[in-house]
Structure 1
Amino acid sequence: MGMLIPLPFPDQPGEPVFRAAEFFAGIGLVRLGLEKARFRVVWSNDIDEDKHDMYVRHFRDPEGGEHQFHLGDVGAVKGDEVPDVDLAWASFPCTDVSLAGNREGLAGKESGTFFHFTRILEEMKDRRPRVVALENVVGLATSHKGQDLAEAIRRLNSLGYSVDVLTLDARRFVPQSRPRLFLVGAMEPPEDVPEANPELRPPWLRAPFADPSLRTHRAFLPEPRPLLTEGLSQIVEKVPEKDPSWWDEKRTAAFLDSLSEVQAVRLEQLRKGRRVSYRTAYRRTRGGVPRWEIRTDDIAGCLRTARGGSSKQALVRAGRGKVMVRWMTPREYARLMGAGDYRLDGLRRNQALFGFGDAVAVPVVEWLAQNYLLPLVEQNAAPAEPHPATGIEEERQAVAAHG
């Protein structure tokens, strides 16, 4: 096993080198990130028709082209239906492992779809991709006192993969607090470096590496960017003050009345400011009483699926003697997910908010793919068998030459 070294790339990325499949694809933000790092996504799956609608509107894959989308339950997918790929990515549902969920863990109906993903890999037999990546909320690390994470690693081990576990916050790339957990499995893992990247593998994430019953590794990666401390104000849409999307006087007053004393004082200071500031707010229930809580910084809270008022994020504009409030827009959600140019025409508002709130930030996928997955796939690539796509083997050799 050798040290994993990120490959250098020219400013113009050129043609894709490796093929990937994305399970639980949602609206395709993983695809956007992978394709920025020279993967070609050739197969996708999701059960949600609204997300599929957003996906096909954005990517507009030609009928009869290389890309296939399997719309339906992953439980109905068979291994022989998935084409040959170098990487399989799965952002399986977080419902049962999230701290805000029911905590049934991998035994739950939705998060348990993880086992359909591994079943499909098993059914692919010797066509199984040599590298896999899985994404979920950080709650997976503590679900059932860490047993669910250990079980996920153990299942991947049974399929021949050594597994790395790391956490990465989208706030390193976009002004949104969005920590996520990633599992990276490889048939031929890089050298295990126990002290590698403590910011990606903090103390609360080290239990799997200390378990001798699990086959794990820790790849040495470049230092990720520091967490952003501002930037929300730069991505906000400039909605005119008279636009009807701003809440009326009565609704704004109700918002202000719901604030705690500390929050009211803080907002009043912003209102008196000479410049306009933006903050995000969530509605929470404290002691049985619904209250709005405003973030203290120029960073958005974690975007969520827009099912009910408590999950939607409001935008507060304060300064020059005024306070105004409105819901965040789909374009703002897209920008906070690193997908600012995503096609939004013809979409229902909540359809868009749900799609982005239940996705992976594009630059997080891109960073992981560029610095970890692409070099790892290169390392795991079978040397003798040329890829069926024209010119792919030659492209692989050219990329390897950069290393």
Structure 2
Amino acid sequence: MTNRSRAPWRVAEFFAGIGLAGTGLRAAGLEVTWSNDIAKAKHDLFRRLNGKIRGHRYIVGDLGKLSSSDLPYDSDLAWASFPCTDLSIAGTRAGLHKGAASSTFWHFIKALSALGDSRPRLIALENVTAFATSHSGRDIASAIRSLNGLGYSVDILSIDARHFLPQSRPRLFLVGVSGAVLDDGKAGSIRPKWLDPIYADPSLRTHRMGLPELPPLRTTGLAEILEQVGDGDDRWWARERVAVFIESLSRAQRARFDALLAGTSYSYRTAYRRMRDGVPRWEVRSDEVAGCLRTSSGGSSKQAVVEVGHGTCRVRWMTPMEYASLMGAPSASLSGISDHHAYSGFGDAVCAPVVEWLARNYLVPVLESAADDSPQDTWALAG
């Protein structure tokens, strides 16, 4: 497998989308040299956000149909944020094998296999936490077993973006390492107990790397990322629409809302519209963080921003720029980009600060250790 002896470490980004994983990886000192995604619209947004990156190649096309000459043969790390549609509890739950979208994971495995001895030393997968329970755990076991077959031992981590940003966005990360692995056996909050059955499965080759504590979970910060939308801006909903919003709140939700309404300062919350017993209802979060951003597939998938206090309430949809900030790209230039493409691109991405933390504390140390220990084809754990 690929084993270069020095940085900058080279990364191939599969299912790259708009490239936010790459943003986090580059912030940690890694060099993203190859990207692939099937969606041209996401590639267009990638170019808007990143411009031309020297030495970087982005291939738009179906991964399952790429020729061998298009594959990245000189990468140290392969990152893959493959589709969650068939794994998420909000999706079909068709699974890793039967789901039309999530089954593209196997195109990734096929590509790794085609690389042969040029496979990267390190693999990182990202998906929703429901991946761990899809088909009673059989899907994630199948994925780990396929990586084991290619020579990788696998570690499983659960990280919420709320450690870094005012957005509740828990995600699962699988890190595959080639060669002999020294396991420090540590669990902790980054490997919650519901992952124990995976580590306990004797048919799977897994390991645990010692990692530092994550920053505390945020409960505030939403107001800091909100755009200043003036009183006369037509993005604020009309009074009649706000009245319907308030009327749809459940009894418990209304009690919480009324307490905020009576406050002597303005509070900022996000809200989702959900079906409850066949009735559409708005639900306002109790904390000052956003709910998990989603792709733009209708009004119910977007979040509303609620400003409430001093006896008044205003409501509007969250803006594309607020989406970008909540994903760790506050300096993104979205001029000329349709709201739909921005919502879809950012809602379907991975939070850049989470990737940067994982890269600095796990991926880069493993690559550095692997380079130092290459004659023995092993790496030591930090602990």
Q: TM-score under structure 1 normalisation?
A: 0.89
C-alpha contact (below 8 Å) 1:20/1:42 kept by paired residues: yes
C-alpha contact (below 8 Å) 1:79/1:121 kept by paired residues: no
Aligned to 2:121: 130
Q: Kindly state the Cα deviation for residue 318 of structure 1 after the two structures are TM-superposed.
A: 0.3
- C-alpha distance in structure 1 between counterparts of 2:128 and 2:66, whole Å: 24
Q: Kindly state the Cα deviation for residue 153 of structure 1 after the two structures are TM-superposed.
A: 0.3
Give the letter aligned to residue 203 of structure 2: S
Aligned to 1:49: 40
Give the letter aligned to residue 45 of structure 1: N
Q: Kindly state the Cα deviation for residue 80 of structure 1 after the two structures are TM-superposed.
A: 3.6
Superposition map of 1:187-266 within 5 A = 187-188=178-179, 190-194=181-185, 196-266=186-256
Aligned to 1:305: 295
Aligned to 2:261: 271
Q: Kindly state the Cα deviation for residue 382 of structure 1 after the two structures are TM-superposed.
A: 8.0
- C-alpha distance in structure 1 between counterparts of 2:56 and 2:104, whole Å: 23
- C-alpha distance in structure 1 between counterparts of 2:183 and 2:235, whole Å: 53
SS of 1:139's equivalent in the other structure is helix
Q: Kindly state the Cα deviation for residue 380 of structure 1 after the two structures are TM-superposed.
A: 2.4
Aligned to 2:50: 59
Identity %: 55
Aligned to 1:76: 65
**189 and 352 in structure 1: CA distance in 2 versus 1, 3 angstrom threshold:** farther
- C-alpha distance in structure 1 between counterparts of 2:219 and 2:182, whole Å: 34
C-alpha contact (below 8 Å) 2:153/2:181 kept by paired residues: no
Q: Kindly state the Cα deviation for residue 189 of structure 1 after the two structures are TM-superposed.
A: 5.3
Q: Kindly state the Cα deviation for residue 206 of structure 1 after the two structures are TM-superposed.
A: 1.3
- C-alpha distance in structure 2 between counterparts of 1:313 and 1:346, whole Å: 22
Question: Pick from 29, 32, 42: which aligns with 1:38?
Answer: 29
Higher mean displacement: 74-83 or 352-361: 74-83
| Residue 146 of structure 2 corresponds to residue 146 of structure 1 | no
- C-alpha distance in structure 2 between counterparts of 1:189 and 1:260, whole Å: 55
- C-alpha distance in structure 1 between counterparts of 2:145 and 2:257, whole Å: 49
Aligned to 1:327: 317
Give the letter aligned to residue 281 of structure 1: A
- C-alpha distance in structure 1 between counterparts of 2:211 and 2:357, whole Å: 10
Higher mean displacement: 256-265 or 287-296: 256-265
- C-alpha distance in structure 2 between counterparts of 1:191 and 1:233, whole Å: 44
Aligned to 1:10: none
- C-alpha distance in structure 2 between counterparts of 1:175 and 1:190, whole Å: 35
- C-alpha distance in structure 2 between counterparts of 1:193 and 1:291, whole Å: 47
Higher mean displacement: 371-380 or 116-125: 371-380
C-alpha contact (below 8 Å) 1:192/1:219 kept by paired residues: yes
Give the letter aligned to residue 29 of structure 1: L
Question: Pick from 326, 335, 340: which aligns with 1:336?
Answer: 326
Aligned to 1:104: 94
Unaligned stretches of 5+ residues in structure 2 = 1-5, 376-383
Give the letter aligned to residue 81 of structure 1: D
Aligned to 2:175: 184
- C-alpha distance in structure 1 between counterparts of 2:293 and 2:320, whole Å: 11
SS of 1:55's equivalent in the other structure is helix
**189 and 323 in structure 1: CA distance in 2 versus 1, 3 angstrom threshold:** farther
Aligned to 2:106: 115
**93 and 208 in structure 1: CA distance in 2 versus 1, 3 angstrom threshold:** same
- C-alpha distance in structure 1 between counterparts of 2:333 and 2:120, whole Å: 31
Aligned to 2:381: none
SS of 1:216's equivalent in the other structure is coil
Aligned-CA RMSD value: 1.6
- C-alpha distance in structure 2 between counterparts of 1:258 and 1:189, whole Å: 57
Q: Kindly state the Cα deviation for residue 379 of structure 1 after the two structures are TM-superposed.
A: 2.1
Unaligned stretches of 5+ residues in structure 1 = 1-14, 386-403
SS of 1:250's equivalent in the other structure is helix
C-alpha contact (below 8 Å) 1:166/1:200 kept by paired residues: yes
SS of 1:353's equivalent in the other structure is helix
C-alpha contact (below 8 Å) 1:46/1:74 kept by paired residues: yes
- C-alpha distance in structure 1 between counterparts of 2:247 and 2:355, whole Å: 40
Aligned to 1:368: 358
Question: Pick from 358, 365, 370: which aligns with 1:380?
Answer: 370
Aligned to 2:3: none
Higher mean displacement: 347-356 or 261-270: 261-270
Higher mean displacement: 213-222 or 374-383: 374-383
Aligned to 2:147: 156
Q: Kindly state the Cα deviation for residue 74 of structure 1 after the two structures are TM-superposed.
A: 1.1
C-alpha contact (below 8 Å) 1:16/1:35 kept by paired residues: no
- C-alpha distance in structure 2 between counterparts of 1:308 and 1:339, whole Å: 24
Give the letter aligned to residue 348 of structure 1: S
Q: TM-score under structure 2 normalisation?
A: 0.93
C-alpha contact (below 8 Å) 1:190/1:376 kept by paired residues: no
Higher mean displacement: 207-216 or 185-194: 185-194
SS of 1:381's equivalent in the other structure is helix
SS of 2:143's equivalent in the other structure is helix
Give the letter aligned to residue 269 of structure 1: A
